[in-house]
Amino acid sequence: MFDTLSDRLSATFKNLRGKGKLTDADIDATTREIRIALLEADVALPVVKDFIAAVKQRAAGAEVRGGLNPAQQVIKIVNDELVKILGGETREIRFAKRPPTVIMLAGLQGAGKTTLAGKLAKWMKESKHQTPMLVAADLQRPNAVTQLQVVGERAGVPVFAPEPGNGVGDPVSVARQAMEEARTKQYSVVIVDTAGRLGVDDELMKQAADIRDAVTPDEILFVVDAMIGQDAVVTAQAFLDGVGFDGVVLSKLDGDARGGAALSIAQITGRQVMFASNGEKLEDFDVFHPDRMASRILGMGDVLSLIEKAEQSFDAGEAAKTAAKLQKKGGKDFTLDDFLAQMQSVRKMGPLTKIFGMLPGAAQFKDQLENFDEREIDRIEAIIHSMTPAERNDPHLINGSRRARIAKGSGTEVAAVSGLVERFFEARKMMSAMASGKGMPGMPGMPGMPGMGGGKKAKQQAKKGKAKRVSGNPAKRGNPAAAAPQQPAPGELPAAFGGGGAAGGNFQLPDELKGLLGGDSPK
């Protein structure tokens, strides 16, 4: 969603690199570009004005003028101000002192309240160890009750739905009955899904206010479609005045909108964004961290969220066993079964494109990541599952006839089976070296890193690399520019990463990463 904004800000900051000191003209030019970037991202005008004024004031201060690296200082200032307009600190759910905790969802029709109710319930159940119950109080929209029942079943959460909906039943009465049901069956959390309208009207506000008065919610969450831009701010203000809410949930954050709602709504309403829904699956639901979102917008990644996802997906005991296997006997105890288990654990974290997108600097490779073929992982799994236990334990057993049988069983070509086995050996060698602290195979010594400490041999190689080289080609000898290695253009990948073409071309992963990902470069 923030790709366009990130690209514009990155281009703006590049213009500051190499400057020893910022002049007033530099500050004016930079803030002008930032203003244009925010307006193009559909951020509300009052928010843009306050943001630019704050950046300009701090950038003109002594903290930047006396800094050794003005570009980094300006990035820090922009990051700090982005965190502020996104809400500051992370806001968590307030639980009632005496259960059940009641959470009411409000918003327009089509904002994604029903699906989000299931996501929130599943998140509550798994991360907060609560016993939630969903309440079908949207009796107006066709099949809204049925949809909530389906979502509840997928989330493993009970749904209270005494009325069929489709215009039948009183939502206020259903809300009151739900409270009695929750107390009787001792549910710790009640999530009430309410009806919406295509636009803000008196009937919508009255019904929402009546449900609010009937259940006395501990949290009212306003669910807003992040793709509707500045209209989200107008709608949010109307709900705030008519019903009131405590926090905001952004749905459809994985869309291609410009992100203005996320950057405007907290500042305008004074209510923080608490959660973000970024996909169709029930697992595509995250706590909204303003500092991490600001880091993503500025292209610095979100390593903390990546670590949290890894902790949820990887079993600590199994990870320790795998590490032990890689450290012993040169990693020969690490089998294709272990490789498959690791690959499946990585997939639990989500699509690989999203995982790589959390890494610092990934924004410059976003076109290549978007072209990554996730089905390659499915093909690798099919090949490994087509092997016998003995073959998975010792891939050296796989000869020509076995390759043909495995290829036929997995619906692939013999070359694909051979390629997988070769990549597995390369990946095992690399992971074993890293687990043993010997660094990455084939990489020169790097000071300050275990096993890559740049010993005498590495220093000699580095020194040798500085020597002037003379080409054997007379034409190149006469033209030093022709003999010099070509530097990649901005946005182009270096040769070591399959470069030589534009960033949007075929992305050739390094051999080591090919082994880890289990496939060739994306098609």
Q: Locate tokens 């008196």: which residue?
A: 202
Q: Is 39 annotated as a binding residue?
A: no
Cβ–Cβ < 8 Å for 347, 447: no
Flag whether pLDDT at 434 surpasses 70.
yes
Average pLDDT over residues 441-454: 37
Q: Sketch the domain layout of the chain as residue ranges.
A: 3-85, 101-300, 307-445+513-517
* CA 297 centroid distance within chain: 11
Mean pLDDT lowest among 25-34, 119-128, 387-396, 436-445: 436-445
Q: Is omega for the bond preceding 100 within 30 degrees of 0, making it cis?
A: yes
Q: Is 402 annotated as a binding residue?
A: no
What is 415-439 written as a DSSP string?
HHHHHHHHHHHHHHHHHHHHHTT--
The half-sphere exposure of 435 on its side-chain side, counting CA atoms within 13 A, is 21
Helix (H, G, I), strand (E, B) or coil at 101: strand
Cβ–Cβ < 8 Å for 370, 326: no
Q: Which two tokens stand for residue 166?
A: 């489709």
Q: Locate tokens 């980094």: which residue?
A: 72
Q: Is 199 annotated as a binding residue?
A: no
How does strand 273-277 pair with strand 189-194?
A: unpaired
Cβ–Cβ < 8 Å for 441, 408: no
For residue 357, is it left (φ>0), alpha (ψ between -120 and 50) or beta? alpha
**CB neighbours of 197 closer than 8 A, spacing ≥ 6?**
108, 109, 203, 204
pLDDT at position 409: 92
Average pLDDT over residues 47-59: 89
pLDDT at position 9: 82
Task: Give the separation between CA 330 and CA 448, rounded to whole angstroms.
Answer: 24
pLDDT at position 15: 77
Select the CATH number that applies to the domain covering 307-445+513-517 from these four: 2.102.10.10, 1.20.810.10, 3.40.190.80, 1.10.260.30: 1.10.260.30
By percentage, how much of the chain surpasses pLDDT 90?
27
Mean pLDDT lowest among 202-216, 383-397, 420-434: 420-434
Confidence of residue 304 (pLDDT cuts 50, 70, 90): low
Q: Is 65 annotated as a binding residue?
A: no
Task: Give the separation between CA 50 and CA 476, rounded to whole angstroms.
Answer: 57
**CB neighbours of 311 closer than 8 A, spacing ≥ 6?**
none
Identify how many contiguous H helices and E strands the chain contains and give both numbers.
25, 8
Could you read off the pLDDT of 129-186 as tens digits, one per residue? 899 999 999 998 999 999 999 999 999 999 999 999 888 899 999 999 999 999 999 9
Q: Is 251 annotated as a binding residue?
A: yes
Q: Is 350 annotated as a binding residue?
A: no
Flag whether pLDDT at 509 surpasses 60.
no
CATH tag, 101-300: 3.40.50.300
Nearest residue to 178 (alpha-carbon basis) of 154, 194, 155: 194
Task: Give the separation between CA 455 and CA 453, rounded to whole angstroms.
Answer: 6
Q: Is 252 annotated as a binding residue?
A: yes
Q: So what CATH class is 3-85?
A: mainly alpha
Q: Is 109 annotated as a binding residue?
A: yes
Task: Give the separation between CA 79 and CA 10, rounded to whole angstroms.
Answer: 12
Q: Is 177 annotated as a binding residue?
A: no
Q: pTM for the full model? A: 0.65
Q: Is 338 annotated as a binding residue?
A: no
Q: Is 141 annotated as a binding residue?
A: no
Task: Give the separation between CA 78 and CA 35, rounded to whole angstroms.
Answer: 12
Flag whether pLDDT at 251 surpasses 60.
yes
Q: Which two tokens stand for residue 121?
A: 């319930």
Q: Is 114 annotated as a binding residue?
A: yes
Q: Is 253 annotated as a binding residue?
A: yes
pLDDT at position 365: 62
- Mean pLDDT: which of 344-358, 411-425, 509-523 is highest? 411-425
**CB neighbours of 434 closer than 8 A, spacing ≥ 6?**
440
The burial of 468, by beta-carbon neighbours within 10 Å (0-12 exposed, 13-18 middle, 19 or more buried), is given as exposed
Nearest residue to 260 (alpha-carbon basis) of 112, 40, 106, 35: 40
Average pLDDT over residues 69-89: 83
| CA triple 329-331-334, angle to 5 deg | 125
Q: What is the mean pLDDT of the chain?
A: 76
Confidence of residue 312 (pLDDT cuts 50, 70, 90): low
Q: Is 196 annotated as a binding residue?
A: yes
Mean pLDDT lowest among 160-164, 468-472, 488-492: 488-492
Average pLDDT over residues 60-66: 59
Q: Locate tokens 């076109």: which residue?
A: 367
pLDDT at position 119: 94
Q: Is 183 annotated as a binding residue?
A: no
Task: Report residue 360: phi and psi, to 5°.
Answer: -60, 135
